[in-house]
Amino acid sequence: MTPAARVQAAIEILDRTIAGDAAEKALTNWARGARYAGSKDRAAVRDHVFDTLRCWRSSAALGGGETGRARMIGLLRGQGSDLDALFSGQGHGPTPIDASETGRSPEGFEAWDVPDWIGERLRKSLGEGAEEVALALRHRAPVFLRVNLLKADMKTAQARLSSEGIETEPHPLSPTALLVTEGARRVSNSEAFVRGMVELQDVASQAVIDALPLENAQRVLDYCAGGGGKSLALAARLQEGVIHAHDANPKRMSDLPERARRAGANVVTKTRPDGLYDLVLCDVPCSGSGAWRRSPEGKWRLTAQELGRVCETQAQILDNCTKLVKAGGVLAYATCSVLRQENHQQVADFLDRHDGWEKLQERQFLPNDGGDGFFVAAFRREEPAPSNH
């Protein structure tokens, strides 16, 4: 496909998303009907679509309209691309741009590429830092790997990846993280990956696990395990002992036993928690605002009501999990959000609702630190006072 034909394909896919299809579905349907498209074409079309979704408001302003075509013009205009070459009307490319498609500079929250109400929440949550975070979320997320210390050390994993054309460098946010600088698309078929030496995992997600006080922990519960990314990272940090992985929707854990086998990790899936634990991690459902670089549609779909509902679920999960922690044990709370309401506010509300818990730490990671936006907090359950009898 020519660069212009890729742009035309992206325009059609964006129009499908405007009509209501999820972008992934629209991309899959397009790829099924486009047998002529090679892997590089598919990757380029996908990049156009997701770049536009990240910059949905600014691209509409710059492109002078709300259609797939207008947004694509706006995106490319903002990137400084040669619009005349791409919109020449030749071959399978889009028709030339006419005088009505001029556009204007985006302003205020339009330029931040967030809905107004989210812009306000970001300001309340992050103050002066809000704009930098919003602007970071307009860009593609880097690819990070976690070196699985159960199978390899950092140097061995890096050398192995390099021999397969995947270049990496360590990242200061986590001692197990490698930033992929070349060959990211080769990772999932590489020997290093297939043999469990590395996992795909965001650096801040790794840093959340690094932050947990796991010394002396024998029994650990990952209460919202999902696909199990954090369960596997927990298992790699735990010297001895077992990780129980649980999820309200157990189907989400269906690949976890195979992933754990490949990683050599002691992770057992559980439909119900089993007894009391030294540490319970609640990696709760959230707005996903810290990960909007990867899932940009969430940025435009989230509503204030939905955020309110998610916050209620987060508080309920924390409350339920208090019953699962041993005296002296730790309850940990994590989100991939940058919104105060889901993070510091939940911590403050939890401490208001529950006696007998001491806050050990809370930390916010921001997308401009390199990884996704994440938040982690930990509370220790106080030991009962010794009786005088």
Ligand X SMILES: C[S@@+](CC[C@H](N)C(=O)[O-])C[C@H]1O[C@@H](n2cnc3c(N)ncnc32)[C@H](O)[C@@H]1O
Minimum CB distance to ligand X, residue 171 (Å):
18
Give dist(CA 235, CA 239) in Å, integer.
8
On whether the CB atoms of residues 142 and 180 are closer than 8 A, the answer is: yes
Give me the DSSP letters along 232-285.
HHHHHH-SSSEEEE--SSGGGGTTHHHHHHHHT--EEE-SS--S-EEEEEEE--
Q: Would you state the torsion angle of the CA atoms of residues 298, 303, 306, 311, taken in this order, to the nearest 10 degrees?
A: 90
Q: Which two tokens stand for residue 304?
A: 């204030």
Characterize 332-355 residue by residue with b for buried, 16 or more Cβ atoms within 10 angstroms of its Cβ, and e for exposed: bbbbbbbbbbbbeebbeebeeeee
Query: Residues with Cβ < 8 Å from 233, sequence gap 6 or more?
Result: 146, 176, 199, 201, 205, 206, 209
Q: Quick check: 370 and 203 in contact, CB under 8 A?
A: yes
Residue closer to ligand X, measured from CB, 209 or 366: 209
Parallel, antiparallel or unpaired: strands 325-335 and 277-283? parallel
C-beta of 247 vs 278, nearer to ligand X: 247
Question: Is 84 a known ligand-binding residue?
Answer: no
55 catalytic per annotation: no
Going by DSSP bridges, is the β-strand pair 167-171/174-182 parallel, antiparallel, or unpaired?
Answer: antiparallel
Task: Report helix, strand or coil for 191.
Answer: helix
Between CA 246 and CA 229 the distance in angstroms is 12
Q: How far is the CB of 250 from ligand X (least distance, A)?
A: 9
- CB closer to ligand X out of 113 and 342: 342
Q: What is the closest distance, in whole angstroms, from the C-beta atom of residue 233 to ligand X in the complex?
A: 8
Nearer residue to ligand X within complex by CB, 229 or 373: 229
Residue closer to ligand X by CB (options 17, 287) is 287
Shortest distance, position 290 Cβ to ligand X, whole Å: 11
Q: Which is nearer to ligand X, 113 or 283 (CB)?
A: 283
Using CB under 6 A, list all residues that contact ligand X. Answer: 223-227, 229-230, 247-249, 252, 283, 285, 313, 317
In the complex, minimum distance from the CB of residue 67 to ligand X, in angstroms, rounded to a whole number? 34
Residue 247, annotated as binding a ligand: yes
Radius of gyration of the chain (CA): 23
Nearer to ligand X, 63 or 290 (CB): 290
Could you tell me how far CA 172 lies from the centroid of its own chain? 19
How many angstroms separate the CA atoms of 63 and 105, rounded?
9
Buried b (16+ CB within 10 A) or exposed e, 209-227: bebbebeebebbbbbbbbe
Q: Which two tokens stand for residue 253?
A: 């854990």
Minimum separation from the CB atom of position 227 to ligand X (A): 5
Least separation in angstroms between CB 285 and ligand X: 4
Give the full edge-to-edge strand order of the sheet including 144-147: 167-171, 174-182, 144-147, 198-200
Known binding positions for S-adenosyl-L-methionine? 247, 283
Q: Which residues are annotated as a binding site?
A: 247, 283
Catalytic residues: 336
